[in-house]
Amino acid sequence: SGGRINVAIDGPAGAGKSTVARRVAEQLGYIYIDTGAMYRAVALAANRAGISPGDADRLAELVKTIDIALEPGADGQTVWLGGENVTAAIRTREVTLKVSEIASHEAVRMRLVEMQRKLAASKGVVMDGRDIGTHVLPDAEVKVFLVASVKVRALRRYQELSESELVPIEQLEQEIAERDRSDESRDISPLIRAKDAEVLDSTDLTIDQVVEHILDVCRTKTAEAK
């Protein structure tokens, strides 16, 4: 693998995982994989097919044939669902409100985890999600558990909203807290820090500070891996 490593970044919504993971990958010349986007694509497909988030049987059927592709690009990752560009469609509020329940089903997780492991098989991957360090890539050389206060995470999301999407920040805070609870309490691969993951609290850190810290850790590990 030529000294290449895998980097796992887990944590709750709005902690900064995707922003930071994308930059770390860019700096290292690695591939960035946003596993949350894959769960969102399943949620979008389910929504369109009229499958309710609690319908385990129909979701199991759906993921058997689902065609999701991630394409790394200069300004982020393009997400394809059956040949359609769904990069924007998977970020709607409707998808956000349903994705956590969709992601709690065993059949859904098994299918996506299989895809994720394949993508990381030749190393040189920065992957973000909820269960990367604990379950998807337990052997990842670098594991970060990125956290931040609920208030700051809600504020970050609020600042990303367009005018047509505006909702009160208190509501965002509630929805984020609810998704945290759901992700942390599910039976299969809940959101939890891997024992060997470093906890990094980004509440009072800039993006650059978080990126630099992770890059330092990666450079040390890459030197060891040579």
Q: Which residues are part of a known binding site for ATP?
A: 11-19
Q: Determine contact, residues 87/72, Cβ cutoff 8 Å.
A: no
Per-residue binding string, ligand CDP, 14-33, x by CB under 6 A, is xxxxxx--------------
**Binding of ligand CDP at residue 179 (CB under 6 A)?**
yes
The CA distance from 119 to 59, in Å, is 23
DSSP 8-state secondary structure symbol assigned to residue 131? S
| Number of neighbours of residue 141 by Cβ within 10 angstroms | 18
* Residue with Cβ nearer ligand CDP (80 or 222): 80
Binding segment (CB under 6 A) for ligand CDP, from list 11-19, 71-79, 193-201, 212-220: 11-19
The CA distance from 33 to 72, in Å, is 8
**Binding of ligand CDP at residue 206 (CB under 6 A)?**
yes
Among 130, 194, 197, 200, binds ligand CDP (CB under 6 A): 130
Per-residue binding string, ligand CDP, 71-110, x by CB under 6 A, is ----------------------------xx--x-------
Is residue 155 packed enough to be buried (19+ CB in 10 Å), middle (13-18) or exposed (0-12)?
middle
Q: Which two tokens stand for residue 34?
A: 């946003």
Query: CA Rg, the chain, in Å?
Result: 17
**Binding of ligand CDP at residue 183 (CB under 6 A)?**
yes
Q: List residues near ligand CDP by CB under 6 A.
A: 11, 13-19, 35-36, 39-40, 99-100, 103, 129-131, 156, 160, 179, 183, 202, 205-207, 210
